[in-house]
Amino acid sequence: MTSRTPPRHDLQRTTAHRIFAKMQRKNGHLDRLIDEAAKRFPRLRRSVVKRIVLEALRYEPVASVLLGQKLRRYSRLPNPVKDALVIGLIEIVDSGSKHQENIAREYRTIVQKLFPKLASVVGGTLRDFAPEDFQNACQELDVMQSALPSHLVQAIKEFHPKESSDINDGQVAAFLEQPKLAFWARPESKIEEDFGTPHDWIPGHYKAKIKGSPTRWPGFHEGAFQIQDGGSVLVSALLDVKDGERILDACAAPGGKTINLAYASGPKGELVALELQEKRMARLLDNIKRLTSDSCATIRVENQSIEDFAQNSTDNFDAVLVDAPCSALGTFRRHPEIRYRDSLKDHSRSQLSILSASASCVKSGGRLVYATCSPLRAENEDIVEEFLRSELGESFSILPASEILSYLPENACSESGWLRLWPDLHGTDAFSAVVLTRKDVSRSSLKS
């Protein structure tokens, strides 16, 4: 069936409305859904749709509170009608009152096609909405806190290095702000002043000053840089790779940290990158092809799990990175759709298995970094503590992050030696990482 192209003026909003629904209820992937829509409608402005959907995903709980106060039957409305109200309300706040009439009319039109009798409810509610009500709601901590997943709120209360045990508005706001683009530059790349500003204390990391899609930035296709969060760069640095060392990246895709480590090891080094999922493998290979040069280590990519690799290989490595699969709650500010995913499922069994298999590949005197983009204890301290209690884990001990990266702010290091990063304090996603060093024991005696 041939898709009917909506009128030009409402193409973006009609598409955003459809994608918003799928993201909430079908666990969709935003960029993939936008790509699919763009194939059907070549005139689609991807950046506009993405901005509308992301803001709606980010602030949906706040909008729902306000709409529930203004419409007694809000909770009983059909989902497509509630979606139109939420997206429209947030877009009015984001775009300003001068566009309010037009926004109200277009979302009324969208609902008219689906639920004609409810179209006037949408149009009237959005037309009469006072944007300052939303701003006032954002001053109420309990309302704003409701916009974050409860597990994330609990982690902030437990681990954030603050004076009070209570969560504050600055911590919440940092997770609700869309982060600005940042990148890591290849060591030989010359970054012009109008292209990016060097980070205050993260080596090789820059805050982007150039606008537009990164794939259109000069130097992108030549591999001069990669878009990368500062926390990700620090996790790579924490492995403290030396020139010529042999490195194992146990969960490599999409390859950002793989590239960091390959350049740290240099042309005399060797890096083995493992990735089990074929779709992620394709992206890993693309990034390696684009970003490597004669200045980095030789990279060998293998399509297998770390468990199979450890079982069948006799390789020993100076350093091993375990960027473990996790809930990804620490990336909430750039992926607010996590709220609707089944991402809080129990990862502990796979995380412990991956860590144990990876540890068996560390040579005597070598080191391992276990990291997640999650602040949850269940995905970090609990996993490492259980590993250290095992027969294999008895051969490892924690080396405090501050002893490896002397430039780290004091509030980035926990008392137990972990690296713990926060968007309000460090401008990064909420990463957690720890360094484990291996005692002088043969690898064969460590195998479980």
Boundary residue ending a domain (226, 252, 283): 226
The encoded tokens of residue 430 equal 């909420």
Which pLDDT belongs to residue 26? 72
Boundary residue ending a domain (117, 137, 157): 137
H or E segment at 143? helix 141-145
Give the bridge partners for 432, in sequence order. Answer: 372, 420
- Residues 194 and 270 grouped into a single domain: no
- Residues 284 and 208 grouped into a single domain: no
The encoded tokens of residue 388 equal 């250290």
Residue 279 lies in a domain: yes
Boundary residue ending a domain (82, 117, 137): 137
Residue 391 lies in a domain: yes
Residue 67 lies in a domain: yes
Q: Exposed, middle or buried, 369 (CB in 10 Å: 0-12/13-18/19+)? A: buried
C-alpha–C-alpha distance, residues 90 and 57, integer Å: 10
Residue 160 lies in a domain: no
Q: How many domains, in total, are found in the chain?
A: 3
CATH number for the domain harbouring residue 43: 1.10.940.10
**Structure confidence at residue 6 as a pLDDT band (50, 70, 90):** very low
Nearest partner of 296 among 275, 269, 273, 323, judged by Cα = 269
- Residues 81 and 197 grouped into a single domain: no
- Residues 303 and 337 grouped into a single domain: yes
- Residues 354 and 422 grouped into a single domain: yes
Which residues constitute the domain of residue 200?
182-226
Tell me the residue ranges of DSSP E strands in 84-216.
182-185, 196-198, 205-208
* Residues 320-332, mean pLDDT to the nearest whole number: 96
DSSP single-letter state for residue 181: P
Nearest partner of 24 among 339, 257, 361, judged by Cα = 339
Residue 27 lies in a domain: yes
pTM: 0.92
- Residues 222 and 235 grouped into a single domain: no
> Over the stretch 266-276, which tens digit does the pLDDT of each residue have?
999 999 999 99
- Residues 197 and 248 grouped into a single domain: no
> Over the stretch 49-77, which tens digit does the pLDDT of each residue have?
999 999 999 999 999 999 999 999 999 99
Residue 2 lies in a domain: no
- Residues 328 and 311 grouped into a single domain: yes
Sheet containing strand 205-208, strands side by side:
196-198, 205-208, 182-185, 225-227
C-alpha–C-alpha distance, residues 440 and 434, integer Å: 20
% of the chain with per-residue pLDDT over 90: 81
- Residues 190 and 128 grouped into a single domain: no
CATH number for the domain harbouring residue 391: 3.40.50.150
Residue 153 lies in a domain: no
- Residues 84 and 64 grouped into a single domain: yes
Nearest partner of 11 among 43, 58, 54, 59, judged by Cα = 43
- Residues 433 and 321 grouped into a single domain: yes
> Over the stretch 337-376, which tens digit does the pLDDT of each residue have?
888 876 566 788 899 999 999 999 999 999 999 999 999 9
Residue 177 lies in a domain: no
- Residues 321 and 186 grouped into a single domain: no
